[in-house]
């Protein structure tokens, strides 16, 4: 049986992560005509390589399948609205991506290198060095990615593009980006200044909006839980 408290905490963390990465989604997203302005040395990529696109707040990952094809996980709200592959196979726009994150729907899809990177720099197999893990053989990596193609649930914390790539590349689904975010949240929670700040904001909301249940309860319980967690 699932723990309601843990589910609530997980949901809050996911929403915080979504907000903190909103700048990534709103700047330089797929579908904004950038890919055509950048040339990539596709001949240098090997089937099974991990392609990484560093952005302002996070890195997007994919597995190179050869022949200018990249398998990667993309949130997409359109998957929940239609079965028309003619529509869903088009490059995922910024709005589709954001709504897909909120709706927790995604697919592991194949796009060209240009559509995958949308004009950004591409790093190759950087995860091998940063994680210091032994990678599987490239052909096995590519085959794992191909077997997972299709619709999949999406979660910023538990099932994102990095989980997909690390599973294919190393055999274990992990996301250092999500782990780092959770560690940062823990640091904030443990900082006693967070308790004071939440208490001040709670009192300010009561002063501005009046003494009601939707202002009083958060003003009491949020500082209390932060204090207990700290």
Q: Could you give the CA distance from residue 114 to residue 33 in angstroms, rounded to a whole number?
A: 10
Listed residue (163, 161, 159) closest to 175, CA to CA: 163
Domain limits, the chain? 36-175, 191-229
Please report the pLDDT score of residue 147 as a whole number. Answer: 97
Q: Could you give the CA distance from residue 92 to residue 116 in angstroms, rounded to a whole number?
A: 10
Which positions are catalytic? Answer: 161
CATH H-level, domain 36-175: superfamily: endopeptidase domain like (from Nostoc punctiforme) (3.90.1720.10)
Residue written as token pair 């089937």: 47
Residues of the chain predicted below pLDDT 70: 1-38, 56, 184-230
Q: Could you give the CA distance from residue 13 to residue 18 in angstroms, rounded to a whole number?
A: 8
Please report the pLDDT score of residue 27 as a whole number. Answer: 46
Listed residue (79, 67, 64, 73) closest to 30, CA to CA: 73
Q: Could you give the CA distance from residue 215 to residue 79 in angstroms, rounded to a whole number?
A: 38
Residue 37, number of CB atoms within 10 A of its CB = 9
Question: What are the residues facing 155 on neighbouring strands?
Answer: 159
Please report the pLDDT score of residue 205 as a whole number. Answer: 61
Contact (CB, 8 A) for 188 and 27: no
Listed residue (152, 28, 18) closest to 93, CA to CA: 28
């Amino acid at each position: 049986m699932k723990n309601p408290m843990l589910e609530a905490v997980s949901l809050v963390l996911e929403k915080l992560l979504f907000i903190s990465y909103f700048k990534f989604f709103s700047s330089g997203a797929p579908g904004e005509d950038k890919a055509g302005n950048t040339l990539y040395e596709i001949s240098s990529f090997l089937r099974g390589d991990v392609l990484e696109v560093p952005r302002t707040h996070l890195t997007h990952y994919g597995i190179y399948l050869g022949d200018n094809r990249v398998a990667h996980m993309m949130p997409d709200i359109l998957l929940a609205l239609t079965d028309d592959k003619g529509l869903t196979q088009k490059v995922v726009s910024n709005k589709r991506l954001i709504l897909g994150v909120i709706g927790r729907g995604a697919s592991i899809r194949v796009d060209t290198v240009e559509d995958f990177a949308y004009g950004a720099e591409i790093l190759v197999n950087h995860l091998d060095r940063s994680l210091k893990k032994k990678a599987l053989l490239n052909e096995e990596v590519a085959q794992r990615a191909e077997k997972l193609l299709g619709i999949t649930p999406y979660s910023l914390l538990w099932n994102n593009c990095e989980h997909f790539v690390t599973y294919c590349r190393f055999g274990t689904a992990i996301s250092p980006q999500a782990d780092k975010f959770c560690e940062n949240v823990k640091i904030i929670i443990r900082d006693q200044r967070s308790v004071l700040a939440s208490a001040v904001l709670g009192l300010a909301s009561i002063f501005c909006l009046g003494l009601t249940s939707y202002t009083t309860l958060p003003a009491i319980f949020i500082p209390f839980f932060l204090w207990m967690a700290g």
